[in-house]
Chain A
Amino acid sequence: MKLKRIFALLTASLMTFSLAGCGENSGQEVENTDVFKIGGIGPLTGSAANYGISVKNGAQIAIDEINEAGGVNGMKFELLFEDDEKDEEKSVNAYNTLMDKGINALLGATTSGCSIAVSNVSVDDGILQITPSGSAADCTNGVNSFRICFTDPLQGELMAQYISDKGFKNVAIIYNNGDEYSKGVHEAFVEKYKSLGGSVVVDESFTSGDVDFTTQLTKINSSNADCIFLPIYYTDVAYITDQAASLGLKLPYFGCDGWDGVINQLNGDTSNIDGSIFLTPFISTDSDPKVKSFVEKYRELYNAEPDQFAADGYDAVYTIKAAVEQAGGDISNEALISAMTQITVDGITGQMTFDESGEPNKSAKVAIINNGSYIAE
């Protein structure tokens, strides 16, 4: 009996904790009609929490900057952020909650699957939706949905071109068969690379949660591959490159934006992956003054190194701001959406314009890993 009571107490206190967490997110309740509300959705808890937290933090910096500068057309910006735990159903619930709170534009969702789920619903409401980092092709299917990041297929094509230009003709690939992002990049890469005259000598996959890659690496070791392409997230990159090193496999690595964070994952020891190159929209050591100022603010406020998700979140807010300015005093959904294709945003992930399909036009950057830091090429 006693134990049951302790359990009840524990549960109650846990619930209070989580409620306290929510309170923080929703910001101050200001009775003010001159507020432009941006609803954000992303995983703040769960296995993908890093991404959502980065987007939220990056977006908040942009909001604070805009408000300090006096807002837009006399309106202050406000960010209302909801947790979706990278779960599609919860993401749609989060969207409905935000709509009930009367948001004017949507920044989200953070991950591809959730973005697609939300855009299936938001297309009926017609609200302007900008996903900072949902890179699957279907994220921008709705007329109301746009994105800041590159699409998966585009990343694959760009890297195929890059690797081919560097003179590597025999590539080995390990990709995550259970992940839309990885599959999307992989498919486009293989097609483009073959059309450029290269050959894929080893093409291996794994599924999320796998930690043993020795079989795949042994195959690569006995092949004539001259480089390895890993279109996967940084945690898996760390597992693979560690195991490759212990097998004595030393080939140059190439990757995509999922690599962002790999140095932190390796606790700064990049001896196994020095010289690796990956495609990314944002490098925190970039000498661009806008990037520098953002990185400094981020470090000061959150005591962490901003990643591309933070940069995407930041740029998404400035894109919304540009659309609001372009639309003049009219903040209706139609006015904001038609303004999107007329704006040019000079963001920290590059200068971008948007076409009607919702895709950004911007140039790619590659980062080189060298002695514990990312260096812009």
Chain B
Amino acid sequence: MKEFITFIQQLINGLSLGSVYALMALGYTMVYGIAKMLNFAHGDIIMVGAYTVSIVCSIAGFSPMAAVLASIVVCTALGVTIEKIAYKPLRNASPLAVLITAIGVSYFLQSVALLIFGSKARKVQSVLNLESVKIGGVDLSGVALVIIFITILIMILLTLFIKCTKVGKAMLAVSEDRGAAQLMGINVNATISMTFAIGSALAAIAGVLFVSSYGYVDPYTGALPGIKTFVAAVIGGIGSIPGAMFGGIVLGIIESLSKAYISTDLADAIVFGVLIVVLLFKPAGMLGKKKITKV
């Protein structure tokens, strides 16, 4: 019985870790799905969001809600600015050039954070003060429950937004065929900017929830989760919004269970091994759509 409770507890641990990955993967996958570029700076925008929360929270008189809003505003502005300065001039360049630029932006953000805040991890007051719930000997952390709820909510809203609004439909059109979308009178640049704005706002929310569950932020906070998130998005099928959710949760559970029952040393190897296996058998990811290209 004790073994079983521990197993369930480890499963829950994986679920809460996975929901953090899922939330981060949503922004990643959305930008890829529409703009067809891998925004490697996504993890670092999450880091900026986390720093913003910690700063606003430390100023007296601001409520946690204000901190969350400030974080969303800052990240959205940052995302749009990065897109304008770094990615827009490369709109017609090869995807490789854009990819390298994104990696450059990622390092740039890390270095700037390092210059401003130093390398010491900064303690952040949690914006969510929730007691954990105990069910039959298993601890369910309140923050994890909130994260799972918010991730599902965002997934639904995002899907509805893309399917049902004019802007969303324009995004879909741009992702299918940029040239044709332009001919139909869609402002491609504005649409892509909008995508980055939403992606970065999602990064801000992920940042807020990330520091709420782990309590610290440093300039490299976004780096490793950024890569894991990317893996999550690819496993789920990059570009697919439910796929990101699915991939994140699966990744979190695999990571947690392999740490618990196989070896902590091998956990990362197993996670990336799963990625390779998935790509071998389902190159488009678990929930990704296979596209047939006519030659």
Chain A residues in contact with chain B, CB under 8 A?
3, 7, 45-50, 177, 204-207, 209-212, 214-216, 218-219, 222, 235, 238-239, 242-243, 246-248, 264-267
Contacts and interface: CB of A to CB of B under 8 A. Distances in A.
Contact of A216 (B114, B216, B218, B264): B264
Contacts of A48: 119
B215 A242 contact: yes
Given A45-B114, A209-B223, A215-B10, 16 more contacts: A3-B85, A48-B119, A177-B265, A204-B259, A204-B264, A211-B216, A214-B256, A215-B256, A215-B260, A218-B6, A218-B13, A218-B260, A222-B9, A238-B121, A239-B215, A246-B141
A222 B141 CA distance: 17
B123 interface: yes
B10 A218 contact: yes
Interface string B2-13: 100110011001
B119 A46 contact: yes
Contacts of B13: 212, 214-215, 218
Contacts of A206: 264
Contacts of A216: 259, 264
Contacts of B220: 47, 209
Contact of A47 (B6, B119, B139, B214): B119
B120 interface: yes
B179 interface: no
A218 B9 contact: yes
Given A47-B119, A218-B6, A239 B214 contact: yes
Interface in B211-238: 214-216, 218-221, 223-225
Interface string B63-94: 00000000000000000000001000100000
Interface string B113-125: 0100011110100
Contact of A205 (B139, B214, B224, B264): B264
Nearest to A223: B6
B17 interface: yes
Contacts of B223: 209
Contacts of B221: 211
B17 A214 contact: yes
A242 B268 CA distance: 23
Contacts of B218: 47, 235
B259 A49 contact: no
A46 B114 contact: yes
Interface string B244-271: 0000000000001001100011001000
A258 to B, nearest CB: 14
A205 B263 CA distance: 9
Given A214-B13, A215-B10, A218-B10, A265 B132 contact: no
Nearest to B268: A207
Contacts of A239: 214-216
A209 B6 contact: no
A267 B260 contact: no
Contact of A177 (B5, B85, B219, B264): B264
A215 B259 contact: yes
Contacts of B132: 246
Nearest to B118: A49
A20 to B, nearest CB: 13
A212 B267 CA distance: 12
B143 to A, nearest CB: 9
B120 to A, nearest CB: 6
A206 B255 CA distance: 12
A219 B260 contact: yes
A163 to B, nearest CB: 22
B123 A265 contact: yes
Nearest to B213: A212
A50 B216 contact: no
A6 to B, nearest CB: 9
Interface in B106-158: 114, 118-121, 123, 132, 139, 141
B109 to A, nearest CB: 14
Nearest to B210: A211
B216 A238 contact: yes
Interface in B1-36: 2, 5-6, 9-10, 13-14, 16-17
22 contacts: A45-B114, A46-B119, A47-B119, A47-B218, A204-B264, A205-B265, A209-B220, A211-B214, A211-B225, A212-B13, A212-B214, A214-B256, A215-B260, A216-B259, A218-B9, A218-B10, A222-B9, A235-B121, A246-B141, A264-B120, A265-B123, A266-B123
Nearest to A49: B119
Nearest to B215: A242
A204 B263 CA distance: 8
A222 B264 contact: no
Contacts of B120: 50, 235, 264-265
Of B10, B132, B260, B264, most buried by chain A (CB within 10 Å of CB) is B264
A212 B119 CA distance: 19
Contacts of B16: 214
B8 to A, nearest CB: 10
B263 to A, nearest CB: 8
A230 to B, nearest CB: 14
A222 to B, nearest CB: 5
Contacts of B6: 218-219, 222
Contacts of B89: 3
Interface in B169-226: 214-216, 218-221, 223-225
A214 B15 CA distance: 11
A242 B5 CA distance: 22
Contacts of B265: 177, 205
A193 to B, nearest CB: 19
Contacts of A210: 224
Nearest to A242: B215
